[in-house]
Amino acid sequence: MILNRTTLKASLDTQNCKTYIFIADRGESDTGNMSGKPKLHYFNGRGRMEPIRWLLAAAGVEFEESYMEEKADLTKLQKDGSLLFQQVPMVEIDGMKLVQTRAIMNYIATKYNLCGKDLKERALIDMYVEGTTDLMGMIMYLPFQPADTKEKNLALIIERATTRYFPVYEKALKDHGQDYLVGNKLSWADVHLLEAILMAEECKPDVLSAFPLLQAFKGRISNIPTIKKFLQPGSQRKPPTDEKFVAVVRKIFNI
């Protein structure tokens, strides 16, 4: 792709999977990451990048990471025009610099055929992903909350998981009668749900005790070779958020 100046374009509409891409000014040519692997720019922790790591791993895609450890690391990306909205996560892939978590994941899901075979399947996948995103968001922010509210918020997470979200997926699996949430093959929704289940189990190990179909689902999806590899020690999967990660984020964003 030949570019002389920064280009903004809504470019992808395969199977109605739309995403917005940001191609930064790179002179006369834009070759992206020279290794050919996607390069992820974020903190060395879960946050909003972790679902992106999961999706790439599930698709069997190797990727590199560049971690921000100081405010200067974020400032550099902002000043060189890499961040469309001045924030991360950002992923370099296919000669582009993609920002906004949902847009990045839309691109990956479409590129690697994880977004369903038609518009109806895509709509179901989107709904399921939005639900797990809501639940994971509650868990993601828990370590950043004041100590005197954590116990109350943890209880709310468990209540929402077991009464609002997991019953929906249990019923979906029962009604669909297949190994996957949508269609008869792995989709973004399955990957996202497994990630949400494991995060919820970190909050309460027996959170799936009343959901036998989700227990079986967890076992099936965890044993898909690419996902099984990602779940092994030493992979690029990040551990639960700890005080060190919280401190780095607070330092960079002055919070």
Every domain of the chain and the residues it spans: 39-112+243-253, 119-224
pLDDT in tens, the chain (255 residues): 333 333 333 334 434 444 444 433 333 333 345 568 999 999 999 999 999 999 999 999 999 999 999 999 999 999 999 999 999 999 999 999 999 999 999 999 999 999 999 999 999 999 999 999 999 999 999 999 999 999 999 999 999 999 999 999 999 999 999 999 999 999 999 999 999 999 999 999 999 999 999 999 999 999 999 999 999 999 999 999 999 999 999 999 988
- How many Å apart are CA 255 and CA 250, to the nearest integer? 5
The β-bridge relationship of strands 96-99 and 90-93 is antiparallel
Task: Give how far the C-alpha of residue 153 lies from the chain's centroid of Cα atoms, to the nearest Å.
Answer: 22
pLDDT for position 24: 38
Cross-strand pairs, 21: 9
Cis peptide leading into residue 89 (ω within 30°): yes
Sign of CA dihedral 219, 220, 223, 227: negative
Please tell me the CATH code under which domain 39-112+243-253 is placed: 3.40.30.10
Domain 119-224, what fold? Glutathione S-transferase Yfyf (Class Pi); Chain A, domain 2 (1.20.1050)
Assess whether the region 39-112+243-253 and the region 119-224 belong to the same CATH fold: no
Is the pTM of the predicted complex or chain greater than 0.95?
no
What are 188's two structure tokens?
């973004």
